[in-house]
A and B are shown apart, each in its own frame.
Chain A
Amino acid sequence: MSRAKLRGLGIDLPLFPVTSVGSFPKPDFLLKARADYANNRIRRGALEKAERQATEFWIRKQEELGVDVLVDGEMYRGDMVAYFAESLEGFEEGGLVRSYGNRYYHKPIITGEIHWDEPITLEWWKYARGITSKPLKGMLTGPYTIMDWSFVEYYPDRRTACLALAKELRNEVEALIAEGAKIIQIDEPAISVRPEELPVAIEATHIMTDGLPAYFISHICYGAFENIYPGMLDLPVDNFDLEMSNSGLDMLELFKRRSYTKDISFGVVDSHSHLIEDDPTVEQRLRQALEVLPKEAVWVDPDCGLKTRTVDEAIAKMQAVVNGAKALRAVTSDK
């Protein structure tokens, strides 16, 4: 059904389309530029030039590897929530809180009414779109995750804050669609940690997507999927991009018990490991997927964003993903 939707949008993809979750590691020259900018050694324009160079690097690299649906690589982002919080009215940067060990981040605080003034990701999407002819995903962090990873002061409760975010972020989705985005990914890694709030996330996603002409993907990771499945199937998206390999493909057991009804971007390499999966391992994971899922529904990608890997590791992991998809295409009928 979703393949027909894609064709209706003018996108014809091969069997087992290859994509990636969103982020790629920043090349050394960009890391240096970011450090220089933070220390007032270069101006904003010089940083943006480096971000464009890095974006082009990853666009070219995805094309060379044979990726079917590209991403811009998020070279311009730091944290996936802070990036949006900094661009929306109603947020303040909070003080440092710890994420783990000796790592800390500035957790945003919602201190006022949230308002979307202007497009946040659009210029980067347009830049990337201008340098490739391949389909390119529009990418944004979802309202539930932005709410959950922020402190909520202004709104009376979490649901109200989440729905307010959804209403405003819909403007971003509409802006992307107006410029030609056909595939839009809404990242919701926080969605599985409070199963009792799944209805809030579903309501918010309806606000973001209802009536809009695009193929929607939602990326979910690092959670107790067993607590939200099959309820998560009520999220109004076409494709779930799921971290499968990191958990030993255990989601497949859930799918056996209760049919999975959407397309899936099936994570075949572990994004959080330095080890590069070999081709037989990736192929085997895909074969296991096909024991449970219809082949028309399966996209292939890494478990999660690859930004924590080195550039070489990220390229090697994407190569393994592409090789796995090609191997399966060669032995699987498209009829």
Chain B
Amino acid sequence: MRNLPSLIILLPLFGFLFNALLGKRVGPRIVSYVAPGVVLAAFVIAIITLVGIVMPSPDHREIVPFFPFCSPETAWISLGGFRVNFALLLDPLSMLMALIVTGIGGLIHIYATGYMAHDPEQPRFFTYFNLFIMMMLILVLGENFLLMFVGWEGVGTCSYLLISFWYTTTENARAGNKAFIVNRVGDIGFALAMIAIWSTFGTLSFFSPDHKSGVMDLAFHHAGYAGVPLTSLPAIFAVPNMGFAGWPALTVICVLLFIGAMGKSAQIPLWVWLPDAMAGPTPVSALIHAATMVTAGVVMLTRCSWLFVQAPHAMVFVAWIGVLTAFMGATIGLVQNDIKRVLAFSTVSQLGYMVLACGVGDFTAGMFHVTTHACFKALLFLGAGAVIHSMLGEQDMRKMGGLKNKIRNTWLVMAIGTYAIAGFPFLSGFWSKDAILDAALKSPVGFAMVFYIIGLVTALMTAFYMNRLMWKTFDTDPRFVDGELPDQHHSNFDDEHEHHGADHGAEIHAVASHGESAVTQESPAIVASTAVPEPHGDASSDVPVYTVHGPDDHAGDHGHGGHVHESLPSMMIPLYVLAFLSLVAGLALGPTHIFEKFLEPSVAPISLGGLSPAEEVFKFPVGYIISAIVAIVGLGLAHMLYSQHRATGALQTEMAKQRNPLYHFFFEKWGFDHVYNAIFIGLGGWIADKILWRVIDMRLIDGTVNGLAETVEGISALVRRIQTGYVRNYALGMLFGVVALVAGVFYVWLNKPH
């Protein structure tokens, strides 16, 4: 039984290897069964593990081996006093995240089988997708910081791979780069934190079986040293620890850990990669940038709650960053035009909420919001994907409108998601968001009212922009001509047939010419089909042939080309499931306190650090009522304003927008990209060019190396002249040697003591 949990990780690994090595050979159909299959199988095993191992366990915490039939003491690194084991930690937090990752991940996998069905590189997509699931599971299940870091970096890598999936477009490749690089900046913090943790605690394991020697165990046992250097740790540490540079050890550790979370969970200042990450396919955005990877930071904060509650300075920092991020994300989301961008900034904003919750000590509320957010954000992203798919690739909301009647099911689930995220009473978002606001109000580290007000304003904006999204996409008058939709589907190497896109309408035109002109072009992976949607052999028959989804093929299964159409069942069913969860999950888990009780063994109470909640401002239902009012006001405001502008779908004219400085500020993402460009690319580039390259590299290093060579050359040119070829000169040299020799001998002889 103890060997079962390792399957949770090994199954996606198997899926990854299968898709990587055999995916192209077995074809997209089998891949589309294997990839979601392994994830859902992992989900089942996670449930079994939860019920069979974690719940029966006395303190709901078990450490099991990483590899089946090995011991949890199997060492990964064992160097002197430094030891890291291959083990998994099963406790409520890790099981919760495992269920989210595999469950919602599985649903998104199913969705992706439909979304990516006609992409010629579908096997590669699912390879990366499975790899991501595996890495995320390592992150949440790892028994120590180093394993968590493996998963941390792994999901960053997979994020890069998946964002720049359609890499032949330079923008996508750049977006992937940006995501990975900014993430890595945060990872520095995490790595330094690990070093600090090891030097303070002597171990990297979270918990140990004997409850004595894990990092969190030690922090628990020495509780009360809030803000004071941990100088009185047991003698197992050889080096006495006075903190770092005069700062208390725990504060430094927590701040460094949070820097890692800043990168991963898109907080200020490292959030800039998330909007660009929308360049990836929509399932990627749903899974990675809504439900799982970005929540890794919050998970890490919760896992280290035992450390954080004893470092109130760090907690204040965390809370402030969180609330500011929430506010900023919402303001930018108000003015975006790309449907996925709105959701991206919404994610930034919601992540800010989660981090705020952690910052004020209510880690349970943060995790609750993680859970509900996973449901409704995935729902929203997948729904947006369905919209985009229906619109044949169009993502700009200004070109949408009037879709409510055309894709009614999509509209329905999107509406549920919108109301959930806005915090409409009794939906899941309502419970989790209000929990956070309540926690902010009871902040044990001060600023309670400030956090609360800002959080409330952000909630208002959230409701507003989400309903704005709904209105612009579905309810306003259509701003496109149905039947003449240009095909903007992405795939790699799609510039071969992209130029066919504009001139396809409802007419079935000369199909043969289309087929031929595409076939004669060089395309390594694609052979464009004609109207016949079955694979046909080509001269290069060893290349697997997929049908390319031209608009006329669209005609085959979805109705006439260029029309808006509802999405495939494989895409809609996950949406229904997620919609259901968004409706009831919050209600089932929140007010019944099931979630709180469940997560209790994994989370440290703020009393551990000697903190206590602020004075209660509102009595019990008042907070909820205020939140409900704010949500309804936000939704209603959007409804009111946009219903007056049905025709244009915009509140202001374009010209008015251009003249509005606040609009510009929000639209330009508060100038972060400009500042970063100026500093890192502008200034950094200038330094790299003028100083590092021209001076140091060209003059110093090349100068030294070349100069060395030139010096040798010069010396040898001089020395070469000794070898004249004339015997007389050589005789002279011999004489010179003789003179020196004789003189030397005589000198020694003369000075010899007698």
Task: Indicate, yes or no, whether A interacts with B.
Answer: no
